[in-house]
Structure 1
Amino acid sequence: MKKFFIIALFLFISNASFAQLFSGESIENQPNVDNKRWSWGYFLGFNSYDFDFDYIDYNPSTVTGKDYLVETRTGFNVGLIGNLKLNDHFDLRFEPGVNFNTRGFQLYSADINTFREINSTYVHLPLLLKFNANRLNNFRPFVVGGLSTSINLSSNENNPDDNSAGQFRMKTNSYYYELGFGIDIYLYYFKFSPSIRGVFAINDELVRDNDPNSIYTENVDSMSSRAVFINFTFQ
């Protein structure tokens, strides 16, 4: 249902965009909105988090050679935006938000039930540089990139229990780089900006089990999150 909603919304936006571009309409909504030094807003959106595993030894017992099968699900994003205009084409943005997500994973080959469901709540803090193309009527494409950090409130990093007790543990602090693109749509009362962004962790997030021979962690060289964000921004 969520995927259908997203697709329908993008189709609606695309149809409206093409209709205006080819209808000859030239009335600009909010012609001076981008002249503000500072601007503020908020965003709502969806996310899909995954795990990227690097292994110490290749595992020939599975089709892919990987130890883990990861199950991704759709989560939810909400947050605020602070935007500093640097010049006509570049903005510096701070987008603090909270991301809710659930992932699952299990070992490909094991004699016991190894499935783990991981519920994560992230306080996500990205600092982004936004490059804006020239405005065309009421539309302005952009690309965005930058660095971010997050605090995983559900990490269980300091929990003494590990996978032997059914508890999967991750590090609380993570660091990422982000790349994405979108379009600013200038409506009568506000600026609406749908965007899509890839988020890639650059640090190892796995807390190893207490047993060095644990089937869950002994073959993992590093584990890092990666995600896709689809956000709808209102300014």
Structure 2
Amino acid sequence: MKNILAILITLFVFQTASAQLFSKERIKNNENVDKARLSYGYFLGLNSYDFNFDYYRDRKDIEVETTLGFNVGLIGNLRINDYIDVRLEPGLYITSRNLIYDESYFNGIEFTEQDLIREVKSTYIHVPLLLKFSTKRINNIKPFVVGGISTALNLSSNQDNPDDNSSGEFRMKKNNLFYEIGFGIDFYLYYFKFTPSIRGVFSLNDEMIRDVDPNSPWTGNVANMKTRGLFINFTFQ
């Protein structure tokens, strides 16, 4: 689902950009919109979060079922020059993932069907600090790449819950660090600037909180569990 959506958005963006690039010069909309030292806006978007696992012992991978989540947030933009901007994009990101464990993880242990699945709901306050590198504006478009670091507070982490997976509670760390990289295109419309973008997000720290039992079938074999995700945002400035 997330791959199809990303492909459709990319085709739309590049088809529109090509129409602008290969047409004759047009009247520029919002010609002075990028000249302000500070500018603001907001974004709406979609996300798909996944996990990347490293293991201590060679066993069947823990499967991750992803879902399509929702993003909303604000933008603060500091103009450095015509080609470089510094951006702060605090937002609320809501997502859900299911972890599917193979029966081999419970070898010699009694288990039920519910023990093989752990639903991981996450509500992140996500705050990235980004550098945006743009090309020269061509007619009413300006392609760019963006990258930076971010921190996120997981409001649904269960970090302080004394119960663990033996009681059905999957726990994650509250505070996480990420690096991000992506691309997009600024479209200068008559009344505002509209920007679709795609960004990959990758965790820098292990997010799993281990169960009390060091041999827990849910956490005992996991050396690292790190989030990775895809964001598709639509920005209005």
TM-score by length of 2: 0.91
Determine the structure 1 residue equivalent to 2:166.
164
Determine the structure 1 residue equivalent to 2:42.
42
Q: Does 1:200 align with 2:202?
A: yes
Q: Using the TM superposition, give the Cα deviation of residue 222 of structure 1 relative to its aligned residue in structure 2, in angstroms.
A: 1.1
How far does the alpha carbon of each residue in 1:66-112 deviate from its partner, in whole angstroms, 9 at most, with x for none?
2x111111100000000000112110000000000010012122453
Determine the structure 1 residue equivalent to 2:52.
52
How far does the alpha carbon of each residue in 1:16-46 deviate from its partner, in whole angstroms, 9 at most, with x for none?
4333333324211011111110000000000
Taking the TM superposition and a 5 Å limit, the aligned residue runs for 1:77-226 are: 77-110=71-104, 112-113=112-113, 114-226=116-228
SS at match of 1:185: strand
Q: Does 1:19 align with 2:13?
A: no
Distance in 2, matches of 1:12 and 1:147, equals 28
Distance in 2, matches of 1:91 and 1:121, equals 28
Contact 2:6/2:198 (<8 A) preserved: no
1:74 to 58, 68, 93: 68
Determine the structure 1 residue equivalent to 2:108.
none
Distance in 2, matches of 1:87 and 1:47, equals 30
Distance in 2, matches of 1:201 and 1:16, equals 33
Distance in 1, matches of 2:196 and 2:20, equals 17
SS at match of 2:149: strand
Distance in 2, matches of 1:147 and 1:49, equals 17
Contact 2:13/2:185 (<8 A) preserved: no
Q: Any unmatched runs of 5+ in structure 1?
A: none
Residues 51, 10 of structure 1: alpha-carbon distance in 2 compared, 3 angstrom cutoff: closer
TM-score by length of 1: 0.91
- 2:231 is matched by which residue type in structure 1? F
How far does the alpha carbon of each residue in 1:31-62 deviate from its partner, in whole angstroms, 9 at most, with x for none?
11111100000000000000111111112xx3
Q: Using the TM superposition, give the Cα deviation of residue 6 of structure 1 relative to its aligned residue in structure 2, in angstroms.
A: 6.9
Distance in 2, matches of 1:4 and 1:228, equals 12
Determine the structure 1 residue equivalent to 2:107.
none
- 1:221 is matched by which residue type in structure 2? A
> CA-atom RMSD, angstroms?
1.9
Distance in 1, matches of 2:156 and 2:119, equals 12
Distance in 2, matches of 1:196 and 1:169, equals 29
Q: Using the TM superposition, give the Cα deviation of residue 129 of structure 1 relative to its aligned residue in structure 2, in angstroms.
A: 0.5
SS at match of 1:171: coil
Distance in 2, matches of 1:152 and 1:186, equals 35
- 2:191 is matched by which residue type in structure 1? Y
SS at match of 1:17: helix
Q: Which moved more, 1:12-21 or 1:29-38?
A: 12-21
